[in-house]
Amino acid sequence: MLRILIADGMEEVAVKKLKDMNFDVVEKHYEKEELINQVKNFDVLVVRSATKVTRDIIDAAAETNKLKLIIRGGVGLDNIDVEYAKVRGISVRNTPNASSTSVAELVLGHIFSMARYLHNANITMRKGQWNKKIYKGIEIEGKTLGIIGFGRIGRETARKAKALGMNIVFYDIVGPKMEFREYKYCNLDQLLAISDFVSIHVPYDKGERAIIGKEEIKKMKDGAYLINCARGGVVDEDALLEALDSGKLAGAAVDVFVKEPAGNNPLCDHDKVSLTPHIGASTKEAQRRIGEEIVEIILNFFEGSELNSYVESI
């Protein structure tokens, strides 16, 4: 029987669907040492971002040659050593389409929060303060939003922000494309120089330096805002902190951190930062779509193999 380990949780309707197909589904988060012992007993490993699928886990899985497929429920594959899995004959898939709307909506939430001090007002009013004069915000209509990385989430953010009257400019490593001609393409320096808000939507490559560091922040407009709903490592957190303290940046929004949970990261204690605990894809709709995609990936992957006999037999 096909054995599936769901290590970081999965939407319950999709789990039920897998169980109804008579797969042996185990929903359990194992710490690293235990995962090393357990992983060899499964054909499929489903993770989100909490489980790090490192070389030693892949080596342990390869001992029995049973594990065939690792699925990341979500987009970023930075918690999985994809290349090494390939070397050991294990396929890796993700669910790239499921969360774009949710992440884009979170970005807009942060933009509104920074523009109108919502994150601060929520805290200070609970402490009995009435800071009406302090919270003099800005309108976002007419402001320029610079999007770095014009993939699924970047484009969805652009579409929604445009509908709110923002001017959109974008930069992507692959260059401009005819199909996005309704938005202005810039190189990175131009984008940084003209944007009131800069939002980053690129994958994180562990080997690379942060896309936004000290030098890039220097090139940004004074009083601009930076949003990171991509991955912790794409922004240099020390440089960001310095820019907030010096007043170079008016604010930042951070959903993702170099180290998560973020614990005592000084960004979490900064009143110019609108914070969320890596919840870009944490909506009912995104989780439902992720669950559906995972079921589909499993069915397609094992189609024609032993899976068929299970499906036919139910």
Query: What does the per-residue mask of binding to ligand NAD show for 201-220, with x meaning CB under 6 A?
Result: xxxx------x---------
Q: Does 229 bind ligand NAD (CB under 6 A)?
A: yes
Q: How far is the CB of 284 from ligand NAD (least distance, A)?
A: 15
Segment contacting ligand NAD (CB under 6 A): 39-47, 120-128, 225-233, 257-265?
225-233
Q: Single out the residue of 236, 242, 192 nearest to residue 210, CA to CA.
A: 236
The smaller minimum CB distance to ligand NAD, of residues 2 and 7, is found at: 7
Residue 173 as a binder of ligand NAD (CB under 6 A): the answer is yes
One of 72, 93, 278, 289 touching ligand NAD (CB under 6 A): 278
Please state the closest distance from residue 125 (CB atom) to ligand NAD, in A: 27
Stretch that binds ligand NAD, among 29-37, 110-118, 145-153, 212-220 (CB under 6 A): 145-153
Please give the full DSSP string across the chain, using - where no structure is assigned.
Answer: --EEEESS---HHHHHHHHHTT-EEEE-PPPHHHHHHHGGG-SEEEE-SSS-B-HHHHHHHHTTT---EEEESSS--TTB-HHHHHHTT-EEEE-TTTTHHHHHHHHHHHHHHHHHTHHHHHHHHHTT---TTT------TT-EEEEE--SHHHHHHHHHHHHTT-EEEEE-TT---GGGTTSEE--HHHHHHH-SEEEE-----TTSPPSB-HHHHHHSPTTEEEEE-S-GGGB-HHHHHHHHHHTSEEEEEES--SSSS-TT-GGGG-TTEEE-SS-TT-SHHHHHHHHHHHHHHHHHHTTTTHHHHHHHH-
Active-site residue, from 93, 155, 201, 231? 231
Which residue among 93, 201, 278, 289 is the active-site one? 278
**CA–CA separation, 107 and 283 (whole Å):** 14
Contact with ligand NAD (CB under 6 A): which of 9, 151, 213, 266? 151
Q: Which stretch binds ligand NAD (CB under 6 A): 18-26, 79-87, 92-100, 121-129?
A: 92-100
Q: Are strands 197-200 and 273-275 parallel, antiparallel or unpaired?
A: unpaired
Is residue 255 close enough to count as binding ligand NAD by CB under 6 A? yes
1, 163, 174, 314: residue in contact with ligand NAD (rule CB under 6 A): 174
> Would residue 231 show up in a list of annotated catalytic residues for this protein?
yes
For the question of residue 285 being annotated catalytic, the response is no
Residue among 96 and 109 whose Cβ is closer to ligand NAD: 96
Site for ligand NAD in 25-64 (CB under 6 A): none
> Annotated active-site positions, please?
231, 260, 278
Footprint on this chain of ligand NAD (rule: CB under 6 A): 74-76, 96, 99-100, 103, 148-154, 171-174, 201-204, 211, 229-231, 255-256, 278, 280-281
